[in-house]
Amino acid sequence: NRTYVVTGSASGIGAATAELLRERGNRVIGVDLRDAEVVADLSTSAGRVAAAEAVLAASDGQIDAVIAAAGISAPRALTVSVNFFGVTEFLEALAPALARSTAPRVAAVSSMASLQPNSAELVEALLGGDEAAAIAIGTALAEDGPETGYLNYPSSKRALSRWIRRESITPRWAGAGIPMNAVAPGTVVTPMTRELLASEEGRAMVDAAVPMPLNGHSEPIVIARLLAWLTSEENTHTTGQTIYTDGGADASLRGDNI
Ligand code: NAI
């Protein structure tokens, strides 16, 4: 019986994950903008700190795993604040409490989009930990139009997958016995994608960008099951990875290029 913290718990992948973990007898502290045990805004530094404090208060400082699923895909700089710093700063604040667990685990939700064209300059600013610089770059991209504005999303996910890879092997995480991974879903049917998938043109666009020859679009529970395994006691040696659970999209798009 473990205590899990799940961000983005009010909807989609986060909600499915919280439900699955509860069904399996675990305690879940959900974090979201609404309908959660901890209502907080992960888009700002103050919000992340407040969220971590509220989680520690609710759990008496006893947490076993954090699953970071909160994210947005808007063509604007807010996307990098939520998707990158909303994960990294929140995880760092909870690292000391995690290190006290006998089987601590971390997983975050990246995306197939981490492989799509992105802004190298933005990715560098994110990995450098400079949120003001990242917001400035993301805002300039958004001002150039929706197509460049969209680059905020793949850039946030590329940086997140890279951050997890770099950080996972450091004393803070590996040194404290904490496996830390990302999952990269293909197209999942959630409120984030519902509108796009409702029209034939939208579906055609999505399916051209993310081909899923195995079983097509997935339900959120598919991603939840992998997140649950990665953060279970069974996972002792998988770390630093971004695991594509994408119906074959990565294999289709990258082929031998890994
Ligand atoms: P969703 O929109 O159904 O759920 C996202 C949740 O995050 C919502 O409950 C929302 O309130 C919360 N959230 C957003 N901004 C927040 C903030 N500032 N502070 C706290 N909570 C906030 O979306 P979905 O599809 O479940 O997405 C979950 C994750 O999966 C995201 O990181 C997304 O980028 C990723 N993803 C989704 C894919 C899809 O096809 N749906 C594909 C690949 C990745």
Percent of the chain with pLDDT over 70: 100
- Distance separating alpha carbons of residues 55 and 51, to the nearest angstrom: 6
Mean pLDDT across 78-84:
98
- pLDDT by residue (tens digit) across 142-185? 999 999 999 999 999 999 999 999 999 999 999 999 999 999 99
User: Binning pLDDT at 50, 70 and 90, where does residue 133 land?
Assistant: very high
Q: For residue 86, is it within any domain?
A: yes
Q: How many domains does the chain have?
A: 1
The answer to whether residue 257 scores a pLDDT higher than 90 is: no
Residue 194 sits in a domain whose CATH number is 3.40.50.720
- Distance separating alpha carbons of residues 188 and 110, to the nearest angstrom: 13
Cα–Cα distances in angstroms (integers) from residue 149 to residues 125, 153, 190, 202, in the given order: 16, 8, 22, 18
Kindly report the pTM of this predicted structure: 0.98
With contact defined as beta carbons under 8 Å apart, do 204 and 155 qualify?
no
Q: How far is the CA of 132 from the centre of ligand 1 (A)?
A: 22
Give pLDDT, residue 245.
Answer: 97
For residue 7, the ligand 1 atom closest to its alpha carbon is 21
For residue 47, the ligand 1 atom closest to its alpha carbon is 19
Q: Is 72 in the pocket of ligand 1 (CB under 6 A)?
A: yes
Looking at this predicted complex, what is its ipTM?
A: 0.99
Q: How far is the CA of 217 from the centre of ligand 1 (A)?
A: 16
The answer to whether residue 98 scores a pLDDT higher than 90 is: yes
- pLDDT by residue (tens digit) across 192-218? 999 999 999 999 999 999 999 999 999
Q: For residue 135, is it within any domain?
A: no
Quote the mean pLDDT of the chain: 97
Q: Is 67 in the pocket of ligand 1 (CB under 6 A)?
A: no
The answer to whether residue 51 scores a pLDDT higher than 90 is: yes
Q: For residue 220, is it within any domain?
A: yes
Q: For residue 255, is it within any domain?
A: no
- Distance separating alpha carbons of residues 238 and 93, to the nearest angstrom: 23
Q: How far is the CA of 102 from the centre of ligand 1 (A)?
A: 29
Give pLDDT, residue 1.
Answer: 86
Q: Is 161 in the pocket of ligand 1 (CB under 6 A)?
A: no
The verdict on whether 153 is a catalytic residue reads yes
Residue 73's contacts (CB-CB under 8 Å, 6 or more residues apart) are 79, 113, 153, 192
Give pLDDT, residue 99.
Answer: 98
Per DSSP, 177 falls in state: T
Q: Is 211 in the pocket of ligand 1 (CB under 6 A)?
A: no
Q: How many CB atoms lie within 10 A of CB 149?
A: 20
**Residue 242 structural domain:** 3-115+156-247
